[in-house]
Structure 1
């Protein structure tokens, strides 16, 4: 399989080895290494079950890359490389879509955030990406996952699952359902945001987990990667996803909820890193909702996990019975912990 793919990207197959690479869950990724010690590459097969129109991703990356090369030529943009025919995707006989990316030498990524300094650098890199693209027309971007971070949609899917979902699972989830219903004001705030001109559509990454940042050997941020979800959006998507995935020392897979805590220093680091780049671009109203960003994203993920549980795990799947129910409980505990510190966090933002 790989020989034909490499050939279409202008590489001589017998001069390269291919091995699985990284820990991504969506696309399949391999590292393409030369036998003679020249430049390495990253080969990816795009998951067309998630990304229905892979050429839209290619178009977005081309537009973004052209803008950055023209206006910020020193920025490290790890965009896709062309095939021998000038396309940025190769489609095989099974209609599988492949792309080739440069491998950034002397770089590495992380699977978890271990220090506030790493959180600061990651937040700064995602904010820098949005900042450098502040002059880019967001209307040019294709929507690669429609309504990806639409909290109103996710709440409606949740209420539909309460009507049509598994009756036994609905009964067993009564306490969690009640708690999530009590947080519905977060949906109303999101709906106000969508209708408030003080909230600006920007170029937003939408998937700010730490593994989507490249670091150098001193843990200084180099750039952001995995740009498939780059779309027009609100800053709360990127900030909220960092809050959800950086603040607690454990992930959404943790079953011991006593280990779910909020690390104040990591919140401060995210705020400093993000606002270092976007302090003068965010409106006063947006800054007032900086803490809301964490509530927005944690709540949305809790809704999505519980909705899938009630719908018999048709979206995320489940590695064991009750997997998505556990994940939803995990995120609900995280939301409770986060809400308990909202006053402190607002004070931190006001001082910054």
Structure 2
């Protein structure tokens, strides 16, 4: 065992001593493929757990993050016990002193229930599957619609604020720290020229009610059980007060293109309209009258907004020298930015069709 592995096991042993379970016999395996937190499956002779080291650089409000998750889980469990929420709620395990996290050195850890016989999926493969995904994320936020949303801490300030993201892009362009501007000037100009759309987003955002939103509604943030049926919403790190159009838009961004977000063959990109229809119909239907008419209209705005926001964030990171998103090749973030802006463009061009599918 190398020094890094030995240090990790020592930290995990220290963490587990804070919990009132017998971990004298425990098998530790890496779980999932997340790029932010380190997640492990712990197996003992009697029970299994999920142990997660929270990335306190990305999430400096680490204590608030686990507090948010605790409040949300308790509310969902109460609703489930009352027969009002169909999904399982994987709970955080409290320490011996009643804390939702354990701190070792500078690192924060949390222990959570492991849902047996569950698994994750990486890609939506059919409209039927898209319908289940939309329904699960809608049930999550809808069940939390009577939760006092302002009791939740804002984990990442201005996370989906388009004006803030454009300000970041402008600063990156002005500074051009890596001398990369010349390689992406056309794309930069296109993004900066979308001021009418940016203004529209800012205007509608002021009129929309706040909900508890997940803010990372990819299919791999659901657990599935036999038959590919969603059984739980997971990864509550970015849960905070937000707008439904953000959650819906992220589903569209990650489900409705035929290409991966870093695929360079953008001329071949098409929108999967059958997937979009399944997403928007089921997301709206799951909310019923708990979604206002303006919120329904905003879903199309969100569908365009999320690819544009993440595209500008990739572009900003490329200009700044790839300091936020992990990259595996030169110009990886630029390729991602080009792909996301292409998706935004296609969705704008198809807006009339999208509106029809929403009815």
Q: TM-score with structure 1 length normalisation? A: 0.94
**Aligned pair 1:326/2:326, yes or no?**
no
What's the Cα RMSD here?
A: 1.6
Q: CA deviation at 1:317?
A: 4.7
Q: In 2, are the aligned partners of 1:152 and 1:187 still within 8 Å (CA)?
A: yes
Q: Which residue of the partner structure matches residue 103 of structure 2?
A: 91
**1:132-186 alpha-carbon deviations (Å, 9 max, x no partner):** 1111101100111111111110011112222122484222212112221232222
Q: Which residue of the partner structure matches residue 109 of structure 1?
A: 120
**Aligned pair 1:223/2:246, yes or no?**
no
Q: CA deviation at 1:272?
A: 2.0
Q: In 2, are the aligned partners of 1:152 and 1:190 still within 8 Å (CA)?
A: no
**Aligned pair 1:80/2:89, yes or no?**
no
Q: Which residue of the partner structure matches residue 43 of structure 2?
A: 33
Q: Which residue of the partner structure matches residue 125 of structure 1?
A: 136
Q: Secondary structure at the match of 2:14?
A: helix
- 2:71 and 2:91 map into 1 onto residues whose CA distance is 10
**1:293-344 alpha-carbon deviations (Å, 9 max, x no partner):** 1111010011111111122222225332212111111111111222222111
**Aligned pair 1:268/2:280, yes or no?**
no
- 2:331 and 2:78 map into 1 onto residues whose CA distance is 50
Unaligned 5+ segments in structure 1 are none
Q: Secondary structure at the match of 2:64?
A: helix
Q: Secondary structure at the match of 2:92?
A: coil
**1:262-282 alpha-carbon deviations (Å, 9 max, x no partner):** 101100111122112113122
Q: In 2, are the aligned partners of 1:68 and 1:132 still within 8 Å (CA)?
A: yes
- 1:251 and 1:186 map into 2 onto residues whose CA distance is 25
Q: Which residue of the partner structure matches residue 22 of structure 1?
A: 32
- 1:168 and 1:46 map into 2 onto residues whose CA distance is 33
Q: Which residue of the partner structure matches residue 184 of structure 1?
A: 195
Structure 2 counterparts to residues 173-322 of structure 1, below 5 A = 173-196=184-207, 199-322=208-331
- 2:167 and 2:196 map into 1 onto residues whose CA distance is 14
In 2 relative to 1, CA 104–155 (structure 1 residues): closer, same or farther, beyond 3 Å? Answer: same
Q: Secondary structure at the match of 2:336?
A: helix
In 2 relative to 1, CA 192–10 (structure 1 residues): closer, same or farther, beyond 3 Å? Answer: same
Q: Which residue of the partner structure matches residue 348 of structure 1?
A: 357
Q: CA deviation at 1:42?
A: 0.5
**1:55-88 alpha-carbon deviations (Å, 9 max, x no partner):** 1012112222222233332542112111122111
Equivalenced residue count is 345
- 1:210 and 1:66 map into 2 onto residues whose CA distance is 23
- 1:99 and 1:167 map into 2 onto residues whose CA distance is 38
Q: Which residue of the partner structure matches residue 14 of structure 2?
A: 4
Q: Which residue of the partner structure matches residue 49 of structure 1?
A: 57
- 2:268 and 2:20 map into 1 onto residues whose CA distance is 50
Moved over 4 A (4+): none
Q: CA deviation at 1:246?
A: 0.4
